[in-house]
Every structure is written in C-alpha cells, then in structure tokens.
C-alpha cells in the first residue's frame, strides 16, 4: 500500500509531466510545420537514459520525468548560426511567434479536450449544485441579512438571469466577485415574489457565504482530523450535532461559528448517533493566525455523478473550460490589483494535495484537475514575462516593429529579471503551502 506522500508525489509527477510534455509537443509540431529543424525532443530532463535519432531529431528519454524540452537549431544565443533556412532565427517573425505560442495554445486546447472527456465519463459534483436555490442560512449582520434575504427564500433570478439551481448562483456570484455592484435578487417567499437589492463589495471572495447566505449544510461530521480535539473527545463520522452548550444547531455554519468563538474553552456537544443521543465535552484548539477555535471536523459533502451523451459532453465540457479560463483571468487581475488575497496563491504542495486527492476519488476527478492545471499553464505561459513564452512573443513583436531583433544584452537582462520574478513567485507560493500545512 502506497503512503499518502508517495501517492501524491507520483500523481503530481504524472500530471505535470504529461502537461509539460504536451506543451513541448506543441512547440515541436509547429517548428516542424514551419520548417525549423528540431535537434532534440526529450521526455524528461537531465542525463539521457536512452535515445534514437530519426529525421535529424534525437528523441530522448531522460532521467528526471517531470516534463521535457525541445532544442531547435539556432535557438540558443551561443548556437553557431549559419543562416540556413531551417534555423530558428532564419524564419520570419510571424513563424517564430507561431512556434513560441504553440506550446501554451496546446495546453489550453488540451484543457478543453480533457474537460469534454470528463463530462463524457461522468463528473462528480456537489449534490447541492443540483438542488433548488432555497436559502437555508443567513448570517446575522451580513450583507444578505441587511438586504432582507431570509431563510426559506427561493432565488428565482439575479439581475434577470434565471437561477435554476445552486450551481447557477455560485457561478454568478463568482463571476461578479471582482467588482462593486448592487444586484437585484428576485426571490419567492410564501408564493409572493419580491426584489432584494444586494450590494457586492470588493472584499467579497466570490462565494455566497461571503455575502452571508448559504445552501443547507447539515451539522453532521463528515471527516475527523487526526490529533485534533474532536477525535480525542470521541466524535465519530456520521454524528449529527444538535446542540452546543444547550443552544440548538440546525446548520453547519452555526456549528462552526460557535466552535470558532470558543478557543480553549470547554464546549458541550449534544449529538445524535444513530438512535442514541449523547453528550460530549470538547475543548477547541486555538488557531493562532485567525484566533479561532478548531476541533478538527469537516462537514459531509454528498456528491452526485453527472454524465452526458458525447455531443452534450463536448458542449458542457467546453462551457466548463470557458468558465475556468474566465475565472483564471479574473483571479490574476484581482491578485495584481490587490483585490484578492495573495494567500490564495498555491505552489507545488497545493498542486500535489489537489491532484492526489482527486486521484483517490477517481479517474474523472483527476482528469478534471489535469484540465484545470493545463488551462492555467497555458494562460500563465502567455503572460508577458521574460523567460516565459509570452515574454519571448513580446521580444518578437518588438523585432517586427523595429525590423531588427532586440540586442542580446537587453534580452539577457530582461530574462534575468523575469527569472527573479518567477523564483520569487515560486518561493511565495511554497511559503503559502507551508503555512497552510502548519495552520491545518
């Protein structure tokens, strides 16, 4: 039996290896198409394990399996350039731009294809996504509460856009989370419709819970965190919490808020376990960063399988990819402008956790994660940062305007700056990953 760390490592190597391989395959195929000689195409990095030469290209299997690379004739600054038509610098600016852009574009196309496959195989989604958007919780003093939204309200539309289920609501709020705006919520209560004006502010994180309303979440233990107070107190998966210190609890948010408010204080839980009513005492552990109490429990997360016929799978898969691309661009804009928390940036550990967890739950979920990461790789590589494909495209655009290439010295300076930016970003992302692990 593989350990969790080993499984996560293997899955991460597989996912990133496949996606980077297809990225390099895009460069390779486009270089061949425009007539540039590819000297090497390697699956993996580092020392060569085996290799075979065909058509002037050496195809390699290298020692480190994470990704790969292509080496084109005349591509490197120290290459001896003879002015041959099959050398990289000899091709037109537009041809070279096509070669450079092909890698990220293949990643984006792969994301669309994988997403269509996911919806064809069947995709696990939260059960509440398929349920009617009936409000089951409204936070006291929240934006929703102040606007007049109440438990039991059925959300019919938002800004005249129909809301048939909770997924529609989540997608709408997430798409709108980057701007300050007042929305018209058409709701139904006791067979009477009314319009509620609910203001979105820049502090909203793109989740209805940030606005103070939510779907129904049973206060039922779905998972226990080893070593935390809940496990030590004797709570079990499936326990339904009915009261905390004698106060009735009907929603998971109420449960979590009451626990959060009592760090290092004894709390009496009344739980229903099958046909028995039990009373347990637990002392929430102090989470230093947020100064809240935690007992180490997670809610139940019922899932349902969505499967579509081939043509429908393509339509819904492409729609999902479109939504993810739009969210990626909006998130990048929010991070750059400071409107999104930089703590949400994840690194290799976060990728390993997401991919490893997805692998445990099935091939379809793993393919969904691969599609999501592939889309992000494509977008990030097109960013105009020196050392990335987008930065090289900028150099080629300048060359096309000035009718001469940017000097080697200026390119080296820009690429060094870009390298420092990427390294700092990776260090910051890795720091976020570590802090998330420490904070639980």
3-class secondary-structure state, position 204: coil
DSSP H helices in 191-342: 208-211, 229-233, 252-260, 310-337
CA–CA gap between residue 374 and residue 385 (Å, rounded): 19
Give 59's Cβ-side CA count (13 Å radius): 7
Tell the burial category of 124 from Cβ atoms under 10 Å away from its Cβ (0-12, 13-18, 19+): middle
Closest CA to 298 of 244, 401, 220: 220
Task: For residue range 429-438, list pLDDT tens digits in order.
Answer: 777 777 766 6
Judge whether 228 and 243 are in contact, CB under 8 Å. Answer: no
> Which residues, in sequence order, are CB contacts of 357 under 8 Å at separation 6+?
none
pLDDT the model gives residue 310: 86
Q: What is the pLDDT of residues 88-99, one digit of tens each?
A: 999 999 999 999
CA 297/CA 241 separation, integer angstroms: 11
Q: What pTM was computed for the model? A: 0.71
CATH architecture of 129-211: Roll (2.30)
DSSP state of 284: P
Q: How far apart are CA 30 and CA 163, in angstroms?
A: 44
Task: Compute the residue count for the chain.
Answer: 440
> Taking phi first (over 0 means left), then psi (-120 to 50 degrees means alpha), and beta for anything else, what does residue 3 get?
beta
- In the chain, where are the structural domains located? 103-122+308-440, 129-211, 221-299
pLDDT at residue 143 in the model: 85
What CA–CA distances, in Å, run from 380 to 68, 105, 109, 218, 390? Answer: 18, 11, 14, 39, 8
Q: Please name which of 251, 253, 222, 247 lies closest in space to residue 236, comparing C-alpha atoms.
A: 222
DSSP code, position 316: H
> Active-site residues: which are they?
24
The string of pLDDT tens digits covering residues 251-263 is 999 999 999 999 9
Half-sphere exposure at residue 251, Cβ-oriented, CA atoms within 13 angstroms? 14
Q: Please tell me if the domain spanning 129-211 has the same topology as the one spanning 221-299.
A: yes
Say what the pLDDT of residue 75 is.
84
- Mark the ranges of the chain whose per-residue pLDDT is less than 50: 1, 203
pLDDT, residue 74, reads: 87
> How far is 256 from 269, CA to CA, in rounded Å?
12
Q: How many CB atoms neighbour CB 37 within 10 A?
A: 18
Tell me how far apart the alpha carbons of residues 207 and 210 are, in angstroms, rounded to a whole number.
5
Nearest CA-CA partner of 183 in 168, 195, 165, 194? 195
Phi–psi pair at 416, nearest 5 degrees: -65, -40
Residue 298 CB partners (closer than 8 Å, separation 6+):
221, 222, 223, 224, 225
pLDDT of residue 55: 85
> 13-47, pLDDT tens digit by residue?
888 888 988 999 999 999 999 999 999 999 888 88
Assigned CATH for 221-299 = 2.30.42.10
pLDDT of residue 412: 85
pLDDT at 231: 93
């Amino acid at each position: 039996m593989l350990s969790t760390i080993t499984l996560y490592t293997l899955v991460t190597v597989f996912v990133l290896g496949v996606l980077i391989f297809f990225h390099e395959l895009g460069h390779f195929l486009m270089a061949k198409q425009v007539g540039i000689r590819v000297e090497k195409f390697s699956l993996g990095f580092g020392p060569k394990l085996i290799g075979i030469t065909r058509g002037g290209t050496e195809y390699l299997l290298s020692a480190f399996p994470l990704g790969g690379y292509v080496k084109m004739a005349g591509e490197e600054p120290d290459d001896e350039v003879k002015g041959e038509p099959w050398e990289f610098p000899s091709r037109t600016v537009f041809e070279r731009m096509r070669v450079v852009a092909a890698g990220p574009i293949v990643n984006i196309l792969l994301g669309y294809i994988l997403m269509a496959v996911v919806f064809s195989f069947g995709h696990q989604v939260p059960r509440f996504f398929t349920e009617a958007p009936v409000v089951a919780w409204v936070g006291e003093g929240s934006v929703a509460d102040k606007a007049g939204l109440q438990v039991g309200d059925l959300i019919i539309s938002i800004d005249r856009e129909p809301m048939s289920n909770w997924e529609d609501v989540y997608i709408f709020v997430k798409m709108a989370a980057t701007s300050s705006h007042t929305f018209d919520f058409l709701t139904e209560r006791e067979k009477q419709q009314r319009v509620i004006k609910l203001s979105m502010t820049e502090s909203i994180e793109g989740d209805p819970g940030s606005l103070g309303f939510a779907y129904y979440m049973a206060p039922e233990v779905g998972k226990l965190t080893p070593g935390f107070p809940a496990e030590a107190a004797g709570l079990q998966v499936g326990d339904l919490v009915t009261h905390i210190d004698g106060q009735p609890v009907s929603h998971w948010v109420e449960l979590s808020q009451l626990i959060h408010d009592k760090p290092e204080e004894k709390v009496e839980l009344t739980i229903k376990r099958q046909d028995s009513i039990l009373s347990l005492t637990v002392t929430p552990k102090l989470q230093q960063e947020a100064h809240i109490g935690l007992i180490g429990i997670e809610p139940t997360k019922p899932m349902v399988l969505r499967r579509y016929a081939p043509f429908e799978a393509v339509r819904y898969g492409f729609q999902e990819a479109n939504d993810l691309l739009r969210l990626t661009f909006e998130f990048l804009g929010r991070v750059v402008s400071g409107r999104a928390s930089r703590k949400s940036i994840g690194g290799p550990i976060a990728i390993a956790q997401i991919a490893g967890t997805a692998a445990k739950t099935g091939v379809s979920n793993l393919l969904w994660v691969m599609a999501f990461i592939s889309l992000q790789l494509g977008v990030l590589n097109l960013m105009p940062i020196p050392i990335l494909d987008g930065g090289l495209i900028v150099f080629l655009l300048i060359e096309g305007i000035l009718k001469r290439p940017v000097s080697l010295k200026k390119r080296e300076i820009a690429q060094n700056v870009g390298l420092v930016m990427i390294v700092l970003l990776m260090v910051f992302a890795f720091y976020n990953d570590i802090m998330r692990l420490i904070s639980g």
